[in-house]
Structure 1
Amino acid sequence: MMPGLQYSLFLFFCLTSCQESPASQSCLNKQQLLATVRQMQQFLKGQETRFVEGIRHMKHRLTTLQNTLTKAAPEPQAVFCPVLEVPLHGKKFGTKNMVDHEVHFICNPGFQLTGSSSRMCQPNGTWTGEATQCKGVSECTPHFCQNGGTCVNEGEQYKCICSKDWTGSNCQYQTQTVPPTWSVTNDPGFSRKPRCAKFDHMQQCSCEAGFHMSGTSENSICQDVNECKVYKLEGAPGLCMHTCINIPGSYHCSCPTGYRLFSDGKSCEDIDECVLLLHNCTTGTMCINTGGGFQCVNPECPKPNGNVSYVKTSPFQCERNPCPMDSRSCHYAPKTISFHYLPLPSNLVTPTPLFRMATASAPGRPGPDSLRFGIVGGNSRGHFVMQRSDRQTGELILTQSLQGPQATQVEVDMSEYLGRSFQAKHVSKITLFVSAYEF
């Protein structure tokens, strides 16, 4: 044990013993005790300083050891693959040639890629796949020109020089001396002179698109192909939704009055005269758009009958006035009558849901626990059925197609019951405007 520490411990024991026996003659006086306390404080401070320096020295030794071990391990060297060149007549995407990086290739139009379109740098410094090349593609291949035709390259396109008695872009049609039924022969505006050229001392002729060659090889003529008639003969879908009009070398579509040609050039879409303000409905009437036209309507409430009378609460709804307490007929009369107008195409595929009725409870009032739906009027009742689609909803379904143009009406009702007690009845009067067209 260090001498300073022994002396300090001796003073500490003396101090504690004097505190326990203040009357002892061997105890130190006050001045001696204060000096002893100061000496103990200095001793402890010195011990603390030496302890902190020891910790700092230990940390420094550990850091030095760690740095020595780290420098001893060699760092791995980065692996690179050889730079891949851009193929002639092609393009390369990707510039990095480090491990796990990819490079992609494409060829310019008219050239075909051989080898690998994508390659990846591997850890051993080589690329996956095979070398990439872009080879020229000839537009002429044996299957392009048929029936002995000769293919001639023209830049990035080709042209077939057909042998005798054959015509068409690929020589796929046989030249006819008698015009086919779908050719236009009685109008000079639908005929063209063929384009002819000599090839290997032979004259070869062809027609423009939309024309068909007929006649003999010495006296041939290009006559218009009536595309509208061709598609009908072949049973293919019509070229036009409504009317196909043949023109020299082509065709165009037209739509009936009240429709306009859609952006695809063959479909027809209805013109909404009501939205575009193209109608002539007077004040007090409502414009209803229909297929190819419009209708002006002004639905009216039923006239008063006994205790039953109605008031118009909106342009398309009437509500029954309050009933006398003892009027059973008024209580069973429709509480509301609504009017609905639906445009339909002709010959609509069936079955098709057309209309729905549903009930809604007023806040704070119990709703009906059962509903009954039915068809109660109209002039085409055999074309419809009314059935429940869920607990609170009924659907009017078209079961037989309607042929247009015509307007037909059907009336449906919904009766509400609470328990077995009748609560109210609601009637919807539906008018269907069936177009003359199936679109």
Structure 2
Amino acid sequence: MLPERRGFTSRSSVRMLAALLFILHWIQPGHGQTCTEGFVYDRRARQCIDVDECRTLPDACRGDMRCVNQNGGYLCIPRSLYNQPYRPETPDLPEPAYPDPSLGFPDTFVPAVPRSVEPSYPRVRTTAPCILGYTLAEDGTCNDIDECETNSHHCNPTQVCINTAGGYTCSCTEGYWLIGGQCQDIDECRYGYCQQLCANVPGSYSCSCNPGFILNPDSRTCQDVDECNDEPCSHGCFNTYGSFMCNCDEGFELAADGTSCIDLDECSFSEFLCQHRCVNTPGSFSCVCPPGYYVYEDGRSCEDFNECDTGNNTCTTAQVCFNFQGGFTCLNPLQCHSPYIEVSDNQCMCSAENPACRDQPFTILYRHMDLSSGRSVPADIFQMQATTRYPGAFYIFQIKSGNDGREFYMRQTSNVSATLVLSRPIKGPKEVVLDLEMVTVNNVINFRGSSIIRLTIFVSEHPF
């Protein structure tokens, strides 16, 4: 009966020790992350870490059992087994042989030498005093078992095994987090890791910048590029945030490409920029005048060049230079035709004693004037006045000849004067000769006579 009892007691102790070796599973959510049993989510480390059930669970092991925390769980083992010191074997007191705890316990256990007092739990051989997760070295010390290197861990393929003292930890690499026991990629772009453009890649992300910016050395923020340093504009450049603007010098305008400048044709804007003709130049314009004129100080008006004053004419010493708008003419010396005789440089007279002068004007006075082409009308251009007055006489002023186109008429302004009026514009260049007659009538002495002003009008080619 005693051997059976001992066998029964031994088998019961083995079963009891096997029953005490179990793992309590615990699922701890953490900020939307779910960890496997025996782990809790660490917000700072952003990964699942082991839960120390021996600290967190009250009475994790009862009776004469000691709690030993393990990766993802804990063990309850007898205190005497855990605290038993190492003693060398003695030949007179052999220890019972125990199976390797890592291989499990058999249903039956027979001690090598029966004892009078049997323990209620199996005794560990003194040659193997190391706890679970350690192995006995040749020098008698307990060395940690690297489950990651020996591939004896239970991390799933998406996780990374990290060896710890007496165990291991299943974690995720950087750029992944644990969700439902699986390592899933973190989409860093959703959390504003990049200042401008972000591209998520498995386990990481890549930042880039919009056109006009470059990536800073921190690989996250962007810095404005000063494009003006590369001189992209043909004239002036103004840097803006993320871009640039080109401007052009006066007289140019920006082309369609936004960088080059093309000449502005100011002459096409208005026909009134220059009095005569506008010539476009790169970035500006210039006014030119026809022959006989020069450009005035304002740079736009044309002023007559007086060839007679400057001596820039072809008149001889016997001729008289007469300047008009845009040109000049050389007047020959006065020649009075018979029966007229010269009485001054510009006047011919027909004597009353000469019978041939009876029906002729008493005097012919020669005058010259210039007129701009297309001058606005009506315009008073010349005035006549009697120089000699006779008692009881009155005067009549009229155009005797040269007004074939009816461009002129005489307007009497007083009993002794009249004005020549231009009534229709005349286009030049043209030379018009008018005989303006002043008739003197005196009924007291029954006298009637006339005098002529032969007016030569030089009409210029241009309206200035």
Q: Normalising by structure 1, what TM-score?
A: 0.50
**Larger helix percent:** 1
Structure showing greater Rg: 2
